Amino acid sequence: MASEVEKKAVFDIDSAKEVVQELRASFVAGKTKDYEWRRTQLKAMLKMMDENEPQIVAALRDDLSKPELESSIYEIAMLKNSCKLALKKMKHWMMPEKAKTSLATFPSSAEIVSEPLGVVLVISAWNYPLLLSLDPVIGAIAAGNAIVLKPSEISPATASLLAKLVANYMDSSCIKVVEGAVPETTALLEQKWDKIMYTGNGRIGRIVMAAAAKHLTPVVLELGGKCPVIVDSGINLQVATRRIIAGKWGCNNGQACISPDYIITTKDYAVELVRLPVYVYICNLVLFNLSSQALFILQVDSFKCELERFYGKNPLESKDLSRVVNSNHFARLLKLLDEDKVSSKIVYGGERDKSNLKIAPTILLDVPQDSLIMNEEIFGPLLPIITIDKVEDSFDLINSGTKPLAAYMFTNNKKLKEKFVEKVSAGGLVINDTTVHLAEPTLPFGGVGDSGMGAYHGKFSFDTFSHKKAVLYRSFAGDAPLRYPPYTNGKLRLLKALLGGSILGIIRALMGWSKA
Amino acid sequence: MEKDLGKEIMEMREYYRKGNTKHVTWRRAQLKGLLSFLAEKEVEIFRVLNLDLGKNYVEAFRDEVGLLKKSLNLALKDLRTWMASKEAKLPSIALLSYAELVPEPLGLILVISSWNFPMGLSLEPLIGAIAAGNAVVIKPSELAPASSSLLANALPNYLDTQAIKVIEGGPAVGQQLLHHKWDKIFFTGSTKVGRIIMSEAAKNLTPVTLELGGKCPAILDSLSWSWDKEVAINRIIGAKYGSCAGQACISIDYLLVEKPFSSTVMELMKALIKKMYGDNPRESHSISRIINKHHFLRLKDLLTDQKVKDCIVYGGSMDEDSLFIEPTILVDPPLESAMMTEEIFGPLLPIITVRNFDVLLKHVWRERSLFLVLKIQGFFLGSWIRLKTVLILSIQGLNH
């Protein structure tokens, strides 16, 4: 039964207050704590996606011109997997974890009890409007919370669809979708939540955290950054190139928080990456693990070759690329591309179609470090390649900037892999591929430093929306007077032994053989 | 002074960036340094805690030094395990792939500690931060000046001062520190200051850990065995008056008992308080004093309301010169009084009597947002089952 709030013309502070009050009442009444309720909601979500796949694909096409395959796999299929995993593992996740106790509290037993936080707010982004809205909601449901979801207004078709579907399939007394833009989000942020999860950019992330601070609300911020790709020599270049293309243009046309932002490679190797092929890719099967000089002579597939293979000679017409989401972002990207010291560095692409908000896959070589394109997250189909002398120099280059959400490296050199993992700090790292770590529920997905705080996916989602309550059980037996006054040296000796943890020490103390 | 601070922090960051704090040998050396500090300076530590808080040396060991030693020994023992990467399971379809979770230090940590356990609350977070490979700045509370001084003067002799610093000062210094970028801020203190810290941290997207407080209730079930009653009351007295005179975030704030049992509780409490602290608690030197005049007057104010004052059944005497308040018990002060709406943080124990558990749990459940610790005394078969059932019923909303 939907409340009147969503039907009101303006969603203001009072509306937000009402929503929170209603959800809090549902939570306090214990509705969302019940295991069966959680199962029912998750099953309903699965059904919702099964029965509405065409509508979802259509909405994503409206909002982003997202290719059907991307919608089906990266949004719907991933969500369904998330739901199924939660359904399968939830009972186990909900069980208290036994905790060890020590001599200091003997005899005792202890456990860590996961309890829902209460009423949570999920604010999602426009680039994966379904996934980034519902994936956190899955975690919040599994953990037993009541939820308000605020999808992004920049993807309005999906936001609308979500509002409609969630109201039809899920329990609206506990899970609500509030549509809107800045005023509505501000009204929601004025309220007291038990947790806020925000996916988006750092500027708004700061605003969300500042609003949360007023109520001491913990937050999860999934932000972004410039995700670098280090390309070493002596690798299977064709596979590497394809994986980079898939992570960049294959992920919403570069508009993804973990899309490769820029490439770092050695001066010699850069040429290989972009050079036009002379021989077809059969050569590549032979070229695996040869040195860069040999590759230079034989001439290999490169970005240009693979890009053409993927998107045709006229990528602006390709149906397999999302468009740039709106004219604001289109203008922003053109500003990056058309900057004086940058526009001359284009080695591939650069074409644009303003009316359809399309920019062709574009590669730039050696743009200056102080250019705009190297100082903000690109979030679009432009890929700069930065060259350095030694591949190890790339670590310092990456660490000189803010910590990104992901960092990638293509290499066969074991020592280099170890150095990469040791030296580069980012939310997540992938070696010899891009973006796929997102699909692994056993890996926490989240940022560090400027790329965010907190993490989710799999059990990490459940944990993020739970309070891990420590519980210690003691009995009345064995109450030693040594912790109570009147205090004596003897008691101090015994306490030292007890907190020292050794039985021998305690015996010595009891015998008066240890120092106070 | 602000410029110097900025320079100092920059130098620390550079030192950290060069990887000096990452290696296991460095971390072990710092942890061992802390153990040496606690061993060699034990007498000094007891002295400053007594100076700042009137804390008895046994209490100081039990609540601060002893726990720190325990933590250090654990950290030294398990450090390599904590530091090791852990394999993350991948589905069988992901052949030839391998995944792991790698713990890495955050960078530069700011630890702001509180005055009630000035050693414990400064050094316990430090242990964790060092074990994780970070560089750390500690700002101890200026309200415990002797302890703060000892930390600032002695620690440099035991630790790597290029990576671990103690910066003394009050709110002004705290503000200055907050203007800089940290990779994490660890704060122990009041909710009011907690909000300020988190707001400042938001400007740099710095994650925070806030250890705050609340009104920690203790529910005392009606017990029949006299041994159980004595143990329960002793533990309650110990938790209320024995740990920094109730000035602890996890002290029992107030006690909830059923009406028929309340007189037994009161009589037993009076007897056991006398047994623990003698006829003149101030002379026993076993109870800490109130930290300063401001808090003393705050506590005194809680009792100015005549309606509250009338509820005192034991104790109540206060000496402003020595900042001492004796163990005090009140019965059923009005629920709207400041005593029952603010965190007490002192040696005043309100006993709230209720008719039965249903009403009790409704009160507790409603106030749940304020809890840090809920102590349920009554782990005795019959009443425990009853309490558990009532808890479940209450959760399902049957609490009329």
CB interface of A with B, residues 18-37, below 8 Å:
28-30, 33
Among the listed residues A70, A75, A222, A306, the single catalytic one is: A222
Dump pLDDT digits (tens) for A120-136.
Answer: 999 999 999 999 999 99
- Comparing alpha-carbon positions, the chain B residue that sits nearest to A476 is B228
Cβ-in-10-Å burial (0-12, 13-18, 19+) of A408 comes to: buried
Q: Contact B57/A487, CB-based, under 8 Å?
A: yes
Please report the number of interchain residue pairs, chain A to chain B, with beta-carbon separation below 8 angstroms. 125
Q: Contact A443/B396, CB-based, under 8 Å?
A: no
For an interface test with B, the pick among A189, A400, A482, A487 (most B C-beta atoms closer than 10 Å) comes out as A487
Q: Contact B199/A213, CB-based, under 8 Å?
A: yes
Which of A28, A450, A495 is opposite residue B61, by nearest beta carbon? A495
Q: Residue A32: is its pLDDT beyond 70? A: yes
Q: Touching check for A488 and chain B: CB below 8 Å?
A: yes
Range of weakest confidence among A103-117, A282-296, A389-403: A282-296
Which of A213, A486, A500 is opposite residue B286, by nearest beta carbon? A486
A4: number of Cβ within 10 Å: 8
Query: Which distant-in-sequence residues (6+ apart) come within 8 Å of A210 by Cβ?
Result: B199, B202, B203
pLDDT band at A263 (very low <50, low <70, confident <90, very high): very high
- Comparing alpha-carbon positions, the chain A residue that sits nearest to B66 is A499
B72: number of Cβ within 10 Å: 22
Beta bridge partners of B354: B258
Dump pLDDT digits (tens) for B259-293.
Answer: 999 999 999 999 999 999 999 998 889 999 999 99
Query: Which distant-in-sequence residues (6+ apart) come within 8 Å of A315 by Cβ?
Result: A307, A321, A349, A351, A360, A361
Tally the C-alpha atoms within 13 A of residue A139's C-alpha that lie toward its C-beta. Answer: 30
Rg of chain A (C-alpha set): 27
Q: For position A515, what pLDDT does the model report? A: 60
Q: For position B333, what pLDDT does the model report? A: 96
Q: Residue B54: is its pLDDT beyond 70? A: yes
Q: Residue A291: is its pLDDT beyond 50? A: no
The percent of residues above 90 in pLDDT, for chain B, comes to 82
Q: What is the mean pLDDT of chain A?
A: 91
pLDDT band at A504 (very low <50, low <70, confident <90, very high): confident
The tokens for A504 are 């021998």
How near does any CA of chain B get to the CA of A193, in Å?
12
**Backbone φ and ψ of A490, nearest 5°:** -60, -40
The percent of residues above 90 in pLDDT, for chain A, comes to 78
> Mapped to the 3 state alphabet, what secondary structure does A312-378 carry?
CCCHHHCCCCCCCCCHHHHHHHHHHHHCHHHHCCEEECCCEECCCCEECCEEEECCCCCCHHHCCCC
Range of weakest confidence among A97-111, A486-500, B28-42: A486-500
CA distance B367 to B348: 20
Which of A449, A492, A501 is opposite residue B57, by nearest beta carbon? A492
Among the listed residues B211, B230, B343, B367, the single catalytic one is: B211
Q: For position B363, what pLDDT does the model report? A: 61
Find out whether A451 and A426 touch, Cβ atoms under 8 Å.
yes
Q: Touching check for A288 and chain B: CB below 8 Å?
A: no
Find out whether A197 and A122 touch, Cβ atoms under 8 Å.
yes
Q: Touching check for B61 and chain A: CB below 8 Å?
A: yes
Q: Contact A484/B101, CB-based, under 8 Å?
A: no
Q: Residue A509: is its pLDDT beyond 90? A: no
Q: Respond yes or no: is residue A222 known to be catalytic.
A: yes
The residue written with tokens 């944990």 in the block is A463
- Mean local confidence (pLDDT), B102-114: 98
CB interface of A with B, residues 74-133, below 8 Å:
102, 104
Q: Which residue has the higher pLDDT, B383 or A390?
A: A390
> Mapped to the 3 state alphabet, what secondary structure does B20-58 carry?
CCCCHHHHHHHHHHHHHHHHHCHHHHHHHHHHHHCCCHH
Dump pLDDT digits (tens) for A417-473.
Answer: 999 999 999 999 999 999 999 999 999 999 999 999 999 999 999 999 999 999 999
Q: Contact A216/B210, CB-based, under 8 Å?
A: yes
Of residues A248, A226, A236, the one with CA closest to residue A434: A248
Q: For position A493, what pLDDT does the model report? A: 87
